[in-house]
Every structure is written in structure tokens, then in C-alpha cells.
Structure 1
Amino acid sequence: MASLTAGNRRPVRLADIAKAAGVSHGTASNVFSRPEIVREEVRERVKAAAEAMGYGGPDPKGRLLRAGKVNAIGVATAEPLSYFFDDPFARVMMASISQACDATGAGISLVSAANNEQLAWNIQSALVDGFIVFCIEGGSRLVELARERKLPFVALDLDSQDGAVAAIGVDNVAGASLAARHLTGLGHRRFAVLALSFADGSTGLVSPEQVRTATYAGTRDRLTGYFQELSRVGVDTSRVPVYETANDAASTKAGLETIFAAKEPPTAILAMSDKIALVTLEWLSARKLNVPKDVSVVGFDGVPEAIVSEPPLTTIAQPIAEMGRLAVKAILESDGKVSRQLLPVELIVRASSAAPRG
């Protein structure tokens, strides 16, 4: 940190402190960076000069930039900062990223913003060696900004069709197919889908055109997996309501109100996230609808909350912790090559799914 010399002409520098204390520049530097190798009387003299001149020590950013590495990773999202703490998937991912960083001594910088302008500034000014990008809403913009920094980055999603984007994700079609196959195997034929976002800022019942032009391939792929499996057993997917949520309680409840207002409500709900599924369990319970006797529910993620929900949630488990570990490794051990890793998913059957009544 630098302060101003008399008359506010220029900032006080380490060289000024060295001169005032009557020591070399190297000795003054060691007082702040390696004090144990400097005699106590010299240390005290340099510190006294620094205090008198209002100098707080060298700017750590300069030292880090000169070294070429800052030993820190930026974790970026276009969501508000609270996303990292409120979303069950994000919490598990951040725990894994933190553990991997702790093991290597690396730091973490959380990068988010309320608008695109602020997001661009935060990405450009972040003092990091690379970025882990949460490719949820605004993901393509994040990738673009991270790429402009010319630092290593990895997207926690395989949405991007750009083979030049390093990514870690799962096979969404295969995972969704597992969920639907589990329910059709139990005998369900009346379904509804509570979806993640197909495009920015929209919620409500989704038309085939909206699916076809979806911004987010991950959402489209999960619906493809559901519908492929439902079609295989003769379900007319054009009659299956698909409600796009914002992956929050308000839009999920609005979707459930719409879906269960139908003459023949579903006996099974396919939820594209565990967060959506957990809200669904609470909504159904509040309306005295028994899960799984009246309605079966299957989520997608495998978050810890799914184990202790009432009833425990059947879900498609992603290897979230492994994804976080691999993302940290991809940044800290980057060799300049682009890697796209597809990880397996697993169907975890619990008490929220069973055969329909009758």
C-alpha cells in the first residue's frame, strides 16, 4: 500500500522508506516480506520511518503479478452472490472446491454481479489464476468474459457446443432417461415435468417451439431424455405438461398449481433439479397429497437434503464433489489444452417413488 508524500505529489514508495531509514532497498523489502532475517534494531528503524511517512507496506498485488501466479481461483456466476450459499447444488460444489483448494493452499475468489456491466468489471479485475464458471443463467456471457481474460477456465456444464470451451459435466440425456425409465417401470403413464430454464428470464408452460429454440442445451437435453423414455412405452409426450421454472420456490409452486388444476393430474413428476423436487414434496404434503401413493417425484442432482426430506427423495445423482475437485485441478494444473470431461450419473431410489394407485 502506498501513501502520499508531502504536498500530495506522489505516493510514498519503499525506496523512500529505505532512504529515510538509511538502509538499502533490499533490506527495507525484507523488513516487510522476510523480517526474520533482518536485525531487530534495523527492523524497528525501518518500521518507524514507514509509520512516520504513512506507509503501510508493499502492495501485495504487485508482488503477485510479478510472480506470474496468484495461487487463487475465481468461481464465477451471473447469479447474486447468495446463490453460492442458498442453492443446494452450489453448496456441495463449493464445499468440494474449497476442500481441493485447501489441499493445495490455493485461495478462492467468488465472482458474481447484479448486472452485466458489473459482472464484466468483476471478471476483468479479479486477481486469480483462472476461473471455474457456473454455467447457469447467463452462462454464455460468463464464458465470453472468462475467455477475454486469457486465463485458464472451465465451465461446470457441457451446454456449450464450442469444443474450445473446457467443461466438466454429465450426460443429461442419459440421466433423464434413467429417471423416466424408473417411473415407467413402476407403471406410471401420466407425467408432468418441472423444468429448469430454457431461456433467460422466462417461466410458465413451454411450447415445442420454446424447447426447439432453447438457450440452455442442458435443460433441452434433460427433456429429450425424459421424452425418449416416455415415448418408448407409448406415452403421448405432446400431452405431457412441461412447466419452466426459475429453479426457485415461487415459480415451482406456480407450476404445480397449473399442473394440478388439470382434469387428470399426473401420478408422477419429473423435476429437473433436487431443489425443484424438494419444493414439490412440501407443496404436495401441504395439500394432503401422499408421496408416493398419490404422486411419485424424482429429482436430479443428488444433494444431501434429498436424503433427509420427507419422504427421502429418489433422484439422479451427479458426482458433484468430483466435478469440483476436477475443476480445481484443471485450473491449477492447466497445460493450455482444452479438456471436456463427461462424468457418469446414478439413479438413487428412495421413498418418493412407487407404483401408482390401482
Structure 2
Amino acid sequence: MRDVAQAAGVSQAAISYAYNRPEKLSAAQRERIFQVADQLGYAGPHSAGRTLRTGQVGAIGLMITDSLPYAFDDPATSALLKGISEAGEVAETALTLLPCPLESDQLAQRSGVLLRGLVDGFLAYAMPEGHPAVETVLRRELPVVIIDGPNPGGLAWVGIQDREAARQAAAHLLALGHRSIGILVDRLVPDGYSGPVSPTRRRQARDRVMKERLAGYAAAFRAAGVPWGSATIIEAGGFHESASLSAARTLLGSEPVTAVLAATDVLALATMSTARDRGLRIPDDLSVVGFDDLPAAAGAQLTTVHQPLVDKGRRATQLLLEVIEGGQPREICLPTELVVRETTAQPPPQ
């Protein structure tokens, strides 16, 4: 840096600005510095030296409960990743994916990649209540932003009002006159169970998002004077398509329903596919409401709750970078909207 500064006729600080804080220099100054650096064979500040000087490595970690393929296969997670990567690219920050399965021996022993990983902070995405990964990263005393999960207290958080959004979705079906409504959730407790959900299992729910959405559905039922216990609830036990299809088949093969509240669009689309296989017309015979408003939802004309998944990832990353730079943790609640399309109508006449 000293040699380049001398050859370019600038201060050594200007060399650092050219690579690390370009807004401090004019475009002409930066171009001059880069030309001289190229002539002298200088490739920029050494990453290890920068790390020693600043204490930062220029990377953040995204914690997910499931395997790495899930991060790319699940449409909602993929949208979140898009927002995270957009914000990271602008800040020239690398992203490390950190799978945190509950059955991990390393997590149970408070060791493994979460302690070894070279990152400046963590995004904890949809971690179930009591997940040991959150406790593990807190021990590192690095910044953490919770996305959609329960906040153990005092951490930065980004999410939506899941309960209110779900209440609006259920209220829409109830206002149309539906009383025989089935409900699909992906996972309440990460123990591999799939099938009918009992009141006891609802109380044991550890997934904050599903727990809040069920609470919203229940609030709408009670406000409409419909017994909450009359709803058939089926848990898929996972997020992949096969689990969603199996749950939809279980629901439609049990008690007759005129409408389905699906806690995700993936479950809603699986319901529509299963219903058509059974000769049911949507919405004439069966109304369906989803949650998320994935790109596929618009194509299927699915009535659903829109949430800004890409922006959620973007805002969470920006917030984490703020905290890494010394900012105070805060909570960001993003807006939602019920988008009524063509998959809901009044129930068929009895």
C-alpha cells in the first residue's frame, strides 16, 4: 500500500479507501490508484491482514434447521436467499449456509461448524423454540438476527404478523359461508410426525410461524362463532412436496370439507393437485387459501396471503450488517396482504 501510494502521489489512507470505502474518493482518483496498483502488481489489501486489523472476515452465516438441499428446494427459502444475496452483494459480504439439524451430535455437544465457522454474525432462520443452535451461536457473542423464529430476548428480529395475517385468511373463508374447513400445517414439532393434530400437539408446537398461524385461524373461528374444535388439522411433518401431497391426501380423504386453509402455498398447491385428482372442482367444490404468495401462486390463481419474502431476506441482512458495525438490535415487522384470486367462493349448496 505504501509503494502504491508513493507511486500514485496519494496518501496510504487513499489506497485503503479505494478498495474498502470507494465513496470517499472520486471515480478518477480510484481509477488512477487501480492503474498504478496493476502496474506494480498489487492485488489489494491482504484478507488476513484486514481481518486482523478490523476483527471482521466479511462473511455472515445463515442458519437453517434442515439440510442444505432444503434451502434451494423450498420456494419460500429460495426467495429469502435471493434477498439475502442481493443485500450481501451490495455490501460485498460473503454468505455461508449453516445446516443445523436437531439430531446433530455436534450441536448437542455445543461444538461443530457454528463454533468453527468464520463469520461476523448470524441470520437464524425459522429456528424452532429451544433449538440448541441459537444458544450455541450466542456463546460466540457475535451479532444475531432472528428471522421468523422466537426471539429469546434482546436480539434483532425480522418477520411478519403471522397471527393477524392468518386470521384474515380464515375470516375470508368464514365470511363466504364455509363451516367445514380443513387446515394443513407443515411442521409443528420437528420430530418427524405426520398426521392429525390433537389439542395436546398444538400446545406442544415449537415452530413459531405455524403456532402463530394456527392461533390466527382459531381467532377467526371464535369471532365467527364457529367451534375451533370442529376444524380438522393435518400436519405434513416436513416441507418437501411429497410430504405436502401426503398431508393433502390425508385431509381430503378424512372428513368432508368445503374449504382448506393451508399454512403455506406449497401445501395449498398440493391440495389443489390432490383435489383435481379426486375430481373436485376449485372453487366450485372446494375453496383453497394459501400463505406466502409464491410466484407459482399467481399462476395457479391461488387466494393467499402475500408476504415480502425477498425483502425479508434483504432487510434482515441489512439489519445484521448494521449490528455488526455497532448498531443497536431492533425488530422489523413487515406488512402482509390477503390477495383474493380465483380459488375461493361460497360453499356448494347442501
TM-score by length of 2: 0.80
CA apart distance, 1:35? 11
The alignment's C-alpha RMSD in Å is 2.5
Give 1:93's aligned residue.
Answer: 80
Aligned to 2:155: 165
Secondary structure of the corresponding residue to residue 333 of structure 1: helix
- Aligned partners of 1:95 and 1:269: how far apart in 2? 30
In the TM superposition, what is the alpha-carbon distance from 1:158 to its structure 2 partner?
A: 4.3
Secondary structure in structure 2 of the residue aligned to 1:297: strand
Matched position secondary structure for 2:291: strand
Question: Would you say 1:75 and 2:67 are equivalent positions?
Answer: no
8 Å Cα contact 1:129/1:151 also seen in 2: yes
Q: Structure 1 pair 67/36, CA: closer, same or farther in 2 (3 Å)?
A: farther
The whole-number CA distance in structure 2 between the counterparts of 1:220 and 1:67 is 41
**SS in structure 2 opposite 1:300?**
coil
Q: How does 1:273-352 map to 2 (within 5 A)?
A: 273-309=264-300, 312-334=301-323, 335=326, 337-352=328-343
Aligned to 1:122: 113
- Distance in 2 (CA, whole Å) between partners of 1:302 and 1:131 is 26
Superposed, 1:122-161 pairs within 5 Å as 122-137=113-128, 140-160=131-151
From 229, 237, 240, give the equivalent of 1:248.
240
Question: Which one has the largest radius of gyration?
Answer: 1
Alpha carbons 1:72, 1:106 under 8 Å: kept: yes
How far 1:260 sits from its partner (Å)? 2.4
Name which of structure 1's ranges 222-231 and 109-118 shifts more when overlaid on structure 2.
Answer: 109-118
Which residue is 1:14 aligned to? none
Aligned to 1:51: none
Unaligned runs of 5+ in 2: 1-18, 20-33
Q: Look up the SS of the partner of 2:183 in the other structure.
A: strand
Q: 1:175 aligned to 2:175?
A: no
Q: How far 1:39 moved relative to its partner?
A: 8.2
Q: 1:190 to 1:65 in 2, by over 3 A?
A: farther
Q: Specify whether residues 122 and 178 from structure 1 end up closer, same or farther in structure 2 by C-alpha distance, changes over 3 A only.
A: same
Q: CA deviation at 1:256?
A: 2.6
Report how far residue 216 of structure 1 moved.
2.1
Q: Distance in 1 between matches of 2:271 and 2:241?
A: 9
Q: How much does 1:324 deviate?
A: 1.2
Distance in 2 separating the partners of 1:301 and 1:166? 22
Give the 5 Å matches for 1:154-233: 154-160=145-151, 162-201=152-191, 202-233=193-224
* Kept after mapping to 2: 8 A contact 1:77/1:139: no
Partner-residue secondary structure (3-state), 1:184:
helix
SS in structure 2 at match of 1:224? helix
Structure 1: stretches of 5+ with no match in the other structure = 1-32, 44-57
Identical counterparts, % of pairs: 34
1:210-242: per-residue Cα shift (whole Å, max 9, x none)? 111222232222111111112222222212111
Q: After TM superposition, give the deviation of residue 336 of structure 1 in Å.
A: 5.0
2:252–2:275 CA contact under 8 A, matched in 1: no
Match of 2:16 in 1: none
Secondary structure of the structure 2 residue equivalent to 1:221: helix
- Structure 1 counterpart of 2:257, from 257, 266, 276: 266
What is the CA–CA distance in structure 2 between the aligned matches of 1:320 and 1:281, rounded to whole Å? Answer: 23
| Residues 188/73 of structure 1: CA separation in 2 closer, same or farther (3 Å cut) | same
Q: Equivalents in 1 of 2:186, 2:204: separation in Å?
A: 14
Counterparts in 2 of 1:186 and 1:38: CA distance versus 1, 3 Å: closer
- Asked if 2 retains the 8 angstrom alpha-carbon contact of 1:192 and 1:269, the reply is yes
Offset of residue 86 of structure 1: 0.5
1:64 deviation in Å? 2.3
Amino acid at match of 1:195: V
Rounded to whole Å, the distance in 2 between the matches of 1:38 and 1:102 is 24
Note closer, same or farther for the CA distance 1:39–1:348 as it changes in structure 2 (3 Å cut): closer
